[in-house]
Chain A
Amino acid sequence: MDKHMNRRECLRALGLSGLTAGLGLTGAPASHAQGVGESSGFQSSVIDAHKVQDMRTAATIVDGKVIQPQRELPILHQTDVLVVGGGSAGVVAAIAARRAGASVTLVERYGHFGGLWTGGLVVLIIGHIVKGGKQVCQGIGEEMMRRLDKLDGAIIDRRPGVSPTVDAEAAKYMMVEMIEEAGVDVFLHCWGVDAIVTENTVRGVVFESKSGRQAILAKIVVDATGDGDLFAAAGAEFEHRSHNVGLVSRIGNLDRVDAEKAGQAPKPRRLGSATPVPGVNWVNLTGPEVDGLDIATLTQMEMNHRKFIWNNVQRTRQTPGYEKVYLVETAPQLGVRITRILNGLNRVRLSDLREATKFPDVVGVGGSSGATHGEWQIPYGALVPTKVDNVLAAGRCISVDMGMADLVRLVPNCFVTGHAAGVAAAVAVRDNCRPRDVDIAKVQKVLRQQEAYLG
């Protein structure tokens, strides 16, 4: 973290000195600085050729095949626990592992935290409660909600038994705060592309970024990529499934709908649901069932959905009274729900929900959409791959049957599995054992200390 922060501080300093230089040049008052900064030019200087670039080896063509020559990768960092993917599961996992005493590094391919929750604009938290209204998502997930409570305009509908809706930007900000407070090392804009494996044991992860291809070595890796990119690369067994891929958007000016003009006519469809921003709704989109790992398909989905969303808002605007409604934004992240599902030592099963099975290795309790059913326990075995060691799954890609996948992937349930994976990884590091051999009683104890609810 220190190294990282230093670089960031250095950059900030550079930016500031550039600004001062600009001011000095123009002599303009500070309030005009930004307007003139661009045209008058920030300061720029040549950076020494970096070690990383030296080690690059271009791919080549041998017998018509594109070949990547063998090469050594620079080791960017070493850590106890490496969390790949900064979505709802990954952020909680990183904070939990850090608080449990491990050194933790979090890598994320985009520039923000929250994954689908924020970047996918899935701002409605469903699945934290069970029949009767009891809240089962506690621990760090609940702590995040409490922090959002304190921020202005960050969350609405925070009442017992009700599903709250958050503001994506507030959530992104809140996570930056929490990650920094916990002391987690972070690398954003880093795409995990391969696992480092020796003898069926994961030793770290290879990343691709603007800095090139680098390695981070870790004692335990938590795969919170949502798609199981890492456990798949490491050779774990998984199921590759199709599911509905959509794209969320937000529309605005709903507080400026002319009620008189709209009259008794049927409301336009797909006006979505309220967000903390007055007059702005978020609009979900289910999308067709496709392979969320196929890049051609993902591209097509992005384009189809974009067309549909735009045209749908135009239709809304043609409805009398709704002329001022406009498209605020489409989600930066495509809404991929389920792709790879881990084959774990255990599995979250629908039959266990029906029978309310209690697991001795329970590491979390899940809730439901609409709170239509009771508590269901998440066994630790659902996070642990059958074959490969030193990697744990968290979030929407854990071991689950199709009857439960749509519950497991809900944001609060991702908080819960992230929390469990983070703590288990830290305990395994502390006890110097494989995740599959971890002392479950210790994991449960730490989880309870961190205020997780285990039933």
Chain B
Amino acid sequence: MNNPLEPNSESGRTEAARRRRIRWLVRVSSLVVAIVLLLAARQTRWPVLVPALSPFVAAGSILATRAFAVTACLGLAVGLIAMLRPRCFCRWVCPLGLCADGMSYVGRRCGRKPAKLPSIGRWIVLLTLASACLGYPLLLCLDPLTMFSGAFGIAESRTGWLTALPLLLVLTTSFVWPHIWCSRICPLGAFQDMLAYPLRRARQARNQAGGNRSSSRWNPPLARRTVLGVAAGAALAGIARSSQGSTPRPLRPPGAIDEPEFLGVCVRCGNCARACPTHIIEPSLGRHGPAGLLTPILHFEESYCLVDCTKCTQVCPSGALVRLSPDGKASRPIGLPQVDMSVCLLAESRECTECGRWCPHAAIRYVWSETEYTLTPEIDAQKCTGCGACEAACPTKPNKAIVVVAFENAASG
């Protein structure tokens, strides 16, 4: 008996060890490649490749935005492989998986035991995809690849450290309850399981017909679960959407889809913030409501959105930022500047025309008022793209006299 696939045989053991070595090599290489891709944010569009590998993100974003981005092909391809070879991605590629496995290993060596927990990953998937159909994919941001990407924003901005929190949470969980993330919580893993389910089912049926009654944990009361998940997802999406609106709308990067859909579709991967050459995108601390936590917001204190730059829209894996050309960007203003004359130096007749000087579109004029006996900056909304050059240039401290706000918040008239 000399079957190489028989683990008990001598050659079988060496073969298994060889495969393990190869798998480790591939996993470590994947991790390295992912890190390299994500670090090249300012120079290239590569960072988009990492979160775009997730079929979960691809499905959620296609359903929510009803648009198909080329990058979604990657995710769909991974999904297809998952159908044929379950969890192949997890075992060979997933960079977060490798990190989680590492922490699990450490945890076990420290004597931690895996916890007993029903699989909640599938619920996350059901909830998210159902709500995505209503335009608001609830938990898309729990995707491991986006969390992994997000962690690279750690040194980006004042609030960048926050973006690493999800990854830290996953790693801590893995330490405390080894392997629980990958097997029980990860929506990407669960989604792959779900994709693989039909084929597995068919194979099982064949085996059963052949009299082989092997028991399987793949026997969910699928229909009931699906209906429940979909209903809950739909209801929550509805609630999430209608609960928005009380807080002021934040300023989003160019090409952002409308709120509140943005809150769902954005996966918080931080790619946009890391791609921005002028560092004006930073993750929200939740000032605009807890639902917006870690979503990208713009700040123009120091710099502004360059006229010809569309990098953030190119690295968005989920379609929360629509891909723009420079021309397209010009016709899609980010917001509108508002002048506060109680702060503006011109109200005190100080010698300042900084906002006008820096406006790349010559959209600011200074108008003399004979009654007030002062000049006032006046913004031509037709020319203005909301790039924030005026705000960045405004010298008043601590509050700027000219501030770009989202259209919904702009005083009309």
Contacts and interface: CB of A to CB of B under 8 A. Distances in A.
B347 A287 contact: no
Contacts of A371: 395
A289 B373 contact: no
A284 B351 contact: yes
A246 B349 contact: yes
B12 to A, nearest CB: 68
B349 A284 contact: yes
B349 A270 contact: yes
Given A350-B357, A406-B357, A369 B348 contact: no
Contacts of B347: 269
B370 A370 contact: no
Interface string B354-387: 1001000000001010100111000000000000
A170 interface: no
A404 B356 CA distance: 11
Contact of B395 (A124, A372, A403, A404): A372
Nearest to B397: A370
A18 to B, nearest CB: 46
Interface string A283-305: 11111110000000000000000
A126 B345 CA distance: 14
A283 B370 CA distance: 18
Interface centre among A269, A283, A370, A407 (most CB of B within 10 A): A370
B351 A126 contact: yes
Interface in A100-137: 124, 126
B370 A288 contact: yes
A47 B366 CA distance: 55
A371 B368 CA distance: 25
Interface string B196-239: 00000000000000000000000000000000000000000000
A283 B351 CA distance: 11
B283 to A, nearest CB: 26
A369 B373 contact: no
A272 B348 CA distance: 7
A9 to B, nearest CB: 41
Interface SS of A by simple majority: mixed
Given A244-B368, A286-B375, A288-B368, A370 B352 contact: yes
A372 B393 contact: yes
A126 B352 CA distance: 10
Chain B residues touching A, range:
10 to 19
A308 interface: yes
Chain A residues touching B, range:
20 to 34
B373 A372 contact: no
B346 interface: yes
B354 A372 contact: yes
Interface in A391-440: 403-404, 406-407, 410
Contacts of A126: 351
Contact of A285 (B349, B352, B366, B370): B349
B119 interface: no
Given A286-B346, A287-B368, A289-B368, A410 B395 contact: no
B353 interface: yes
A322 B16 CA distance: 92
Contacts of B373: 285, 308, 312
B116 interface: no
Interface centre among B352, B354, B373 (most CB of A within 10 A): B373
A288 B371 CA distance: 12
Interface centre among B350, B351, B352, B370 (most CB of A within 10 A): B351
B350 A244 contact: no
Contacts of A403: 357
Contacts of B350: 284
Interface string B114-147: 0000000000000000000000000000000000
Contacts of B351: 124, 126, 284, 369, 406, 410
22 contacts: A124-B351, A269-B348, A270-B348, A270-B349, A284-B348, A284-B350, A284-B351, A285-B349, A286-B349, A286-B368, A286-B375, A289-B368, A312-B373, A369-B351, A369-B354, A370-B354, A370-B395, A371-B395, A372-B354, A372-B393, A373-B393, A404-B357
Interface of A: 124, 126, 244, 246, 269-270, 272, 283-289, 308, 312, 350, 369-373, 403-404, 406-407, 410
Interface of B: 346-354, 357, 366, 368, 370, 373-375, 393, 395
Given A284-B350, A286-B374, A403-B357, 17 more contacts: A244-B366, A244-B368, A269-B347, A272-B348, A285-B373, A286-B375, A287-B368, A288-B370, A312-B373, A369-B352, A369-B354, A370-B354, A371-B395, A372-B395, A404-B357, A406-B353, A410-B351
